[in-house]
Structure 1
Amino acid sequence: MSLNLDARQRAMLDEMHIPYWWPEPPVVGELLVRAPEQTPVQAPAHTQVHTQVQPSVQTPTQAPQRMSAPAAPPAAAPQAPVAPPQVARPAPAPAPAPGRVVAGAASTWRLLPPQALYASPAAPGGWLVVTEAIWPGDDPLAEDGGPAARLLDNMLRAMGLHKAPQVWAAGLARRGADEAAEPLGWAELLQARQPQRVLLMGRTAAREALGTDEPLGRLRGRVHDLHGVPAVVTYDAPYLLRAQTDKARAWADLCLALG
């Protein structure tokens, strides 16, 4: 009985010192048949052939040079025609700002002679009240002035002007159709009466005195300069008779005029 042991199994038996018998290979013609050993095959030596390669020298070919024509001088830029000297013209006068009337312009209204109120002595100073004329005669506070004259009297008394040394009332009346428009003499009036305060009542008085087309609501609530005299704008008596709700605003204007 023979054991077919491979190399690994035989190595294990050798390590454990276990004897085993391995059949001897047969002898043929006194030659021991051995497994053919693989003889390493040497690769044939390659014969290196040194081929000396001559580097090719490229001779640069020169492109035929072209004869360039001589550069022409740059053409001169065309000269702009010389404009004739301009004659200086006077600057136009600036147009008046929107809402502004040219001062001293002719008006379709005329100033009535100022009347002294409350039998005050004819002395300079005091107040000047300007409003559209609501009285038919010489007395602005006469009974024939109707409810507007009585309301004006109440307003001035509420301000305490009936106790002032001097109060003048200047009325504005519209010119007739046959009357030519003329500038109003505000500077002359102020120079003659020399008031310390001016109360402009109504849009007509504010427009003619201040030279403006602004609405009355924008002119209220601030002190204006009328030829160096402080002026305050408020509603006139005829308007307050129609708009009772604006009486509180009118009272605020009177308080502003009192300072």
Structure 2
Amino acid sequence: MSLALDARQRAMLAEMGVRLWAPRAPAVAAPTPALPQPQPQPEQAAPVAARPASAAPPVAAPPPTKAAAARPRAPSAIPAPPPTPARAALAPLPPGIDAMDWPALQAAVAACRACGLCAGRTQAVFGTGSRTADWMVVGEAPGETEDRVGEPFVGPAGQLLDNMLAAIGLSRRVDTTTKSIAASANPESAGGQNRQKSGVYIANVIKCRPPGNRNPEPFEVAQCEHYLRRQVALVQPRIILALGRFAVQSLLGSAEPIGRLRGRVHHYQGVPVIVSYHPAYLLRALPDKAKAWQDLCLALATVQAGAPTRDAP
């Protein structure tokens, strides 16, 4: 895949600190030569020390008592495999959610009292961007700034995400126009030239801020999954970017580390899913920005390969 980055987009990537412009071809691991197996050595009898002639003969140990002889031998300890975190059962569907349109769904989220997170929120954080997008970004939970503003991915983490999306010509602002690399993947666009970018919709798994920015509990994630599922059904994206551990667990039901899930295409409700790091993590782990760029390139290649768009819900 070739990315036709112009000077502006390259400058954006340089500002982000990303120095790897495309994923490198995976190195073919050289076969590891088999190591010679050690040969078992015959056991040698330990030397017996000479006993002095004047030493008394050894006294035989008394036979074990019946209780000691009957004592069972403790079985050898076998390490158990690490437990896999159980996924909470999906909460009951809100009435009529499968038929809700955007206004009804947003009103249902705003009025939701299914878990205790509603008590400490300023407002529910529903989502932002184009509701007819090809791309959908799914994050984890609102932070303090998101709770105050009412929009996902704001602050430094949101700025980093916006820069990454802008590098391939995407924006959460539906009135932005550009020569878009991502737009060129859409056969309905005029070669990607000055296409009105309605290309990305951004949402979180959790719609209310957990107190103190703590991690969401499994039952809290389960309460919000119905809303996210309906958002995906309404947007009908061609690709989903799952950013962060809780987004991955909600969409894929997997507790595997992100590092093991990267680099391949997963699916949620028939939509291709690419796993990557959360922008807040990338602000702390700068070397992994290059890996996040690789993930973005994989998502772009998946869209360009012609992932089918589903029928309207």
Q: TM-score, normalised by structure 2?
A: 0.43
Q: Distance in 2 between matches of 1:227 and 1:199?
A: 14
Look up the match of 1:130.
138
**TM-superposed deviation, 1:158:** 1.3
| Residue 146, structure 1, aligned to residue 155, structure 2 | yes
> In 2 relative to 1, CA 104–191 (structure 1 residues): closer, same or farther, beyond 3 Å?
farther
Q: Which runs of 5+ in 1 are unaligned?
A: 1-97
> In 2 relative to 1, CA 160–125 (structure 1 residues): closer, same or farther, beyond 3 Å?
same
Secondary structure of 1:231's counterpart equals strand
CA offsets, 1:145-165, max 9 Å, x none? 332121111111112212542
| Residue 190, structure 1, aligned to residue 232, structure 2 | yes
**TM-superposed deviation, 1:115:** 1.3
Verify the 8 A CA contact 2:125 2:151 in the aligned structure 1: no
**TM-superposed deviation, 1:246:** 0.6
Within-5 A mapping of 1:99-110: 99=84, 102=87, 105=90
1:237 to 279, 288, 291: 279
Verify the 8 A CA contact 1:103 1:211 in the aligned structure 2: no
Q: Distance in 1 between matches of 2:300 and 2:88?
A: 27
Verify the 8 A CA contact 2:126 2:151 in the aligned structure 1: no
Look up the match of 2:127.
114
**Structure (1 or 2) with the greater strand fraction:** 1
Amino acid at match of 1:212: S
> In 2 relative to 1, CA 147–214 (structure 1 residues): closer, same or farther, beyond 3 Å?
same
Look up the match of 1:214.
256
Look up the match of 2:60.
none
Verify the 8 A CA contact 1:113 1:170 in the aligned structure 2: yes
Q: Distance in 2 between matches of 1:253 and 1:100?
A: 26
> In 2 relative to 1, CA 187–199 (structure 1 residues): closer, same or farther, beyond 3 Å?
same
Amino acid at match of 2:137: V
Look up the match of 1:64.
none
**Structure (1 or 2) with the greater helix fraction:** 2
**TM-superposed deviation, 1:199:** 0.5
Look up the match of 1:168.
201
| Residue 202, structure 1, aligned to residue 244, structure 2 | yes
Within-5 A mapping of 1:13-32: none
> In 2 relative to 1, CA 139–112 (structure 1 residues): closer, same or farther, beyond 3 Å?
closer
Q: Distance in 1 between matches of 2:125 and 2:252?
A: 18
Look up the match of 1:87.
none
Verify the 8 A CA contact 1:232 1:253 in the aligned structure 2: yes
**TM-superposed deviation, 1:166:** 3.1
Larger radius of gyration: 1
Secondary structure of 1:153's counterpart equals helix
Verify the 8 A CA contact 2:152 2:202 in the aligned structure 1: yes
Secondary structure of 2:274's counterpart equals strand
**TM-superposed deviation, 1:105:** 3.3
Q: Distance in 1 between matches of 2:210 and 2:271?
A: 27
| Residue 258, structure 1, aligned to residue 258, structure 2 | no
CA offsets, 1:100-123, max 9 Å, x none? 75585359889942211xxx4x4x
Instruction: Considering Cα pairs closer than 8 Å and 6+ residues apart, tell me whether 1 or 2 has the greater RCO.
Output: 2
Q: Which runs of 5+ in 2 are unaligned?
A: 1-82, 92-113, 119-123, 172-179, 181-196, 302-313
Secondary structure of 1:129's counterpart equals strand
Q: Calculate percent identity across the aligned residue pairs.
A: 42
Q: Distance in 1 between matches of 2:256 and 2:202?
A: 24
Verify the 8 A CA contact 1:99 1:214 in the aligned structure 2: no
